[in-house]
Structure 1
């Protein structure tokens, strides 16, 4: 009853245009006041501060900063040139280049929106110039960017790890195989569509050009090796790896390439700071909601209610998929994780589902949510860059959403796909 009233109040405030973080805080304060009286509000600020100052959360602004440095130092441009030389001879190669660069960029920034902003501003105009429909150009950029939500290091995975008390490093490892499968599947769809519609070959394969662009991009190609190798090797934690990403990006962009555009970097930093502030305010407000729900034992009551219907893990995972797909229509990935994960984790624990496995399922659902209006933050960013209608892009995006759904089903019901590497390395 209380949970239903809280959710109704939250969605009512969101529909009125109240920012999600503020709406979360207002609902939490109202629930605490109703249940425990005015005196209980004295700890509100302390709970919010404690929730937003957890050490793993420091990784979020660091990875955003690393992505901003990549954009400001020409690293993205060099990677695109190398990918073009490598794949440009294939029909529809520019779409494949788009996907490949998005996968690589995801390994540095962990942010799908940052991915679209970085690669889309270069590749969408190039695709339109070469005769690709702008709706397709926006769709392939948007969907490939959403792979950042499962390819490590992923900001939503960091948030999930904090909310569910799961290993962030193991989440990163679990995302590798699904991320690669998703990327190559998107490339296959792009190739088939390019053959069907007769979209162009970009350039004749030239081994010399491949070698020249490879040498220019070589330092940038070491970035994910340095960052992810250090994290997976146990040399640094995920948070320390985020700091290492910033140092490595600064050294490669500023010292090796000597191509750091300070004015562009300043704008990117301001944008990154605003994104981080929004996430941190969400985390702080969610801490307040989490404490209240825990004290009222509402997650446990929800778990018992679901278990009274079924205790079959397969059926429960199906219910969770439907639930998160619906939530993804209306909430950004960070808000959905922060709001829902603490409520459903007790249920997942009771039926014996691995929290790392479930984390991949949650992140994939929310990756699809980034492509499905009305919220669809990544899709809308791509549409803005392409100057394309959201609904036209959504129609072109159906094939790519289908790929993401197929990967979701595979990850959900074949746990070996995400978990084999985790078992091999850490268990």
Structure 2
């Protein structure tokens, strides 16, 4: 009961407006004190340090910085121009361009918020000018941006891998099929809605324009090949790949496109530091919460409680999905991972659920949480760009959220969707 009270206290702190990192840390310290007295603070201090110094976690600030450099270095605008020339001539093509650009951007940044900030500032005004309603433009941009955490590299996957001791590279490989499947289904939905609501074409297809935009975007298109090729080829680790992404984005922005000067570099660094601070404070605080949960054996008791109800892995996965959907609606993605991984991993191991499959399942739930109020970090960012109401946009967004739910169900109940490529590459 005390453990439940500590978690309830954490949610109360969040509800009254305390920053999530401090809510997690404050409730965890209270639990540690009630359990071990003042001596518990000594272990808490060590956990704080250890929680923020894991080598794989270094990839998080590096990918965040790479995304910020892409936003200021002209890479995003060139990707948009190329994809628009490639598929913009189809009815509703600008909506499909939105999805396609997010898929390209996802292969570099690993952050949905970075995606929606970079692509939305260009595509949402363009879609409104072409006759899309602000709600439709915001919904399409928001849902497609969440592909950035499903298609590798992915910051939530890095965080999950570090917390669960699961291979980040294998998680990246496992995310390819669900990510591409989600992108394809979103494009199909865009085409259906374009036919139903008579949405406009962007402009007529031009082979010359396609060639020009491809040439202009060639350096941007090389980035995913270099980064993911290096990671999957075993040349670099995920953390080293993140460093490579920063170097490549900086080189292209400064020397090739020549759009990054000292002012832009300073702004990118500030944006990167601010976003990194939010995540890493939560990571450090989560280590203390994990310490408390481990000492109280709450995860093991929760696992035992669920298995008393059912030992069917499919039924257990449905229970976990429902819980994760709720947590994703009320917590930031990183906080949701931090809270749920220590609780559910013992159950995952006990029932023989593949940790890689569970990692993709968790990531998809985080993606859904980015689209569902009250937190809905990506949807809120998209709505602020489109200058439209969040709750009304949520209704417009339901069909696109439905696509993500469909992919989640496929990953949950058809393990091959996430594991087949991993089996092929690594022979699991």
When normalised by structure 2's length, the TM-score is 0.98
- Partner of 2:263, secondary structure, is helix
Matched, 1:119 2:119: yes
Matching of residues 28-67 of structure 1 within 5 Å: 28-67=28-67
Residue of structure 1 in register with 2:314 after alignment: 314
Query: Retained in 2: the 8 A contact 1:72–1:262?
Result: no
Matching of residues 19-418 of structure 1 within 5 Å: 19-418=19-418
Could you report, residue by residue, the CA deviation over 1:95-151 in whole angstroms, capped at 9, with x for unpaired residues?
Answer: 111111111111111000010100000000010011110100000000000111111
Could you report, residue by residue, the CA deviation over 1:291-311 in whole angstroms, capped at 9, with x for unpaired residues?
Answer: 121122221111111111111
Deviation at 1:391, TM superposition (A): 1.5
Query: Retained in 1: the 8 A contact 2:157–2:171?
Result: yes
Q: Hey, what's the Cα distance between the residues in 1 that align with 2:198 and 2:354?
A: 45
Q: Hey, what's the Cα distance between the residues in 1 that align with 2:15 and 2:256?
A: 49
Q: Hey, what's the Cα distance between the residues in 1 that align with 2:4 and 2:109?
A: 36
- Partner of 1:37, secondary structure, is helix
- Unaligned 5+ residue runs, structure 1? none
Matching of residues 411-426 of structure 1 within 5 Å: 411-426=411-426
Deviates more, 1:295-304 or 1:410-419: 295-304
Query: Retained in 1: the 8 A contact 2:254–2:261?
Result: no
Query: Retained in 1: the 8 A contact 2:82–2:213?
Result: yes
Deviates more, 1:295-304 or 1:151-160: 295-304
Query: Retained in 1: the 8 A contact 2:25–2:285?
Result: yes
Q: Hey, what's the Cα distance between the residues in 1 that align with 2:163 and 2:110?
A: 18
- Unaligned 5+ residue runs, structure 2? none
Q: Hey, what's the Cα distance between the residues in 1 that align with 2:386 and 2:262?
A: 26
Deviation at 1:187, TM superposition (A): 0.7
Query: Retained in 1: the 8 A contact 2:3–2:31?
Result: no
For the aligned residue pairs, the C-alpha RMSD in angstroms reads 1.0
Deviation at 1:43, TM superposition (A): 3.0
Deviation at 1:2, TM superposition (A): 2.7
Deviation at 1:21, TM superposition (A): 0.8
Q: Hey, what's the Cα distance between the residues in 1 that align with 2:324 and 2:148?
A: 18
Query: Retained in 1: the 8 A contact 2:158–2:168?
Result: yes
Q: Hey, what's the Cα distance between the residues in 2 that align with 1:213 and 1:70?
A: 17
Could you report, residue by residue, the CA deviation over 1:288-335 in whole angstroms, capped at 9, with x for unpaired residues?
Answer: 111121122221111111111111100000001111011111001100
Q: Hey, what's the Cα distance between the residues in 1 that align with 2:20 and 2:66?
A: 27
- Partner of 1:200, secondary structure, is coil
Deviates more, 1:244-253 or 1:260-269: 260-269
Query: Retained in 2: the 8 A contact 1:116–1:382?
Result: yes
Query: Retained in 2: the 8 A contact 1:357–1:418?
Result: yes
Q: Hey, what's the Cα distance between the residues in 2 that align with 1:179 and 1:248?
A: 24
Query: Retained in 2: the 8 A contact 1:72–1:261?
Result: no
Deviation at 1:261, TM superposition (A): 4.2
Residue of structure 2 in register with 1:3 after alignment: 3
Q: How many residues align?
A: 427
Could you report, residue by residue, the CA deviation over 1:222-259 in whole angstroms, capped at 9, with x for unpaired residues?
Answer: 10000000001111110000001111112222222222
When normalised by structure 1's length, the TM-score is 0.98
Q: Hey, what's the Cα distance between the residues in 2 that align with 1:187 and 1:262?
A: 38
Deviation at 1:71, TM superposition (A): 1.4
Q: Hey, what's the Cα distance between the residues in 2 that align with 1:138 and 1:64?
A: 23
Deviation at 1:42, TM superposition (A): 2.4
Q: Hey, what's the Cα distance between the residues in 1 that align with 2:264 and 2:36?
A: 50
Q: Hey, what's the Cα distance between the residues in 1 that align with 2:74 and 2:22?
A: 37
After superposing on structure 2, the runs of 4+ consecutive aligned residues of structure 1 that deviate more than 4 Å are none
Query: Retained in 2: the 8 A contact 1:364–1:408?
Result: yes
Query: Retained in 1: the 8 A contact 2:44–2:291?
Result: no
Deviation at 1:52, TM superposition (A): 0.6
